[in-house]
Amino acid sequence: MGEISKIPQHVSIIMDGNGRWARLRGLERLEGHKEGVGSVRASLELAVELKIKYLSLFAFSTENWSRPKDEVEGLWNLMFKAIERETEFLIENHVRVLILGNLEQLPQDLQAAVHGLVEATSGGTGTTLIIMMNYSGKWDIMQAANRFSKENPGVEMRPEDMDNYLVTASIPDPDLLIRTSGEERISNYMLWQTAYTEFYFTKVFWPDFRKSEFRLALEE
């Protein structure tokens, strides 16, 4: 491995390719999502090791609701299990978790679990792990503009106002955006926040994106 000359403050990842990874192996799509959970853990471990301050992951877009019902429900179940399994690791490694997006549309029991995880890790002083759930860049800009206009009637919105009303207002914009699986687009993700972000695209499917692949992206 080469030398990482500068550690980014905020790395964001579009986790893509779970379904294709599974199909190539003759498996159901959900098996790809299950294997992808291991890549989430590996990426977070490296972020903690390298003291990356913010790691954000695009876990579920608003467009994903169009997927088969059993796949969507399987994803919620995976999230439940991951919360139960990983909370202790997160607390021990001082990781703070934020879940951002249109969370009101999530199942009630998942909303409760998500809020519990955020509360349990709120004291973390190391890496902040941001999970983007039921999120889209267009939705984020629209909700920011709507909230601003309601709170500031008759006032013209400025760029810095938009920064303060996005769901990511509490965190810096990404320095590096990684997308796996060979697709070279950002798919309605952090449209405002990535205006000055470096992009890194890899053909590796998300379930195979482990520490070595993450390091390659950082080196590049």
**Could you tell me the two tokens for 81?**
């299990």
Strand order of the sheet with strand 10-14?
96-100, 128-135, 54-61, 10-14, 176-179, 198-201
64 catalytic residue (yes or no): yes
Sign of the four-CA dihedral 15, 32, 139, 126: negative
Which listed residue (16, 140, 173, 175) is catalytic? Answer: 16
109 catalytic residue (yes or no): no
Residue 57, strand partner residues: 13, 131
What secondary structure does DSSP assign to 70-117, as a single string? HHHHHHHHHHHHHHHHHHHHHHHTT-EEEEES-GGGS-HHHHHHHHHH
Q: Which residues are catalytic?
A: 16, 64
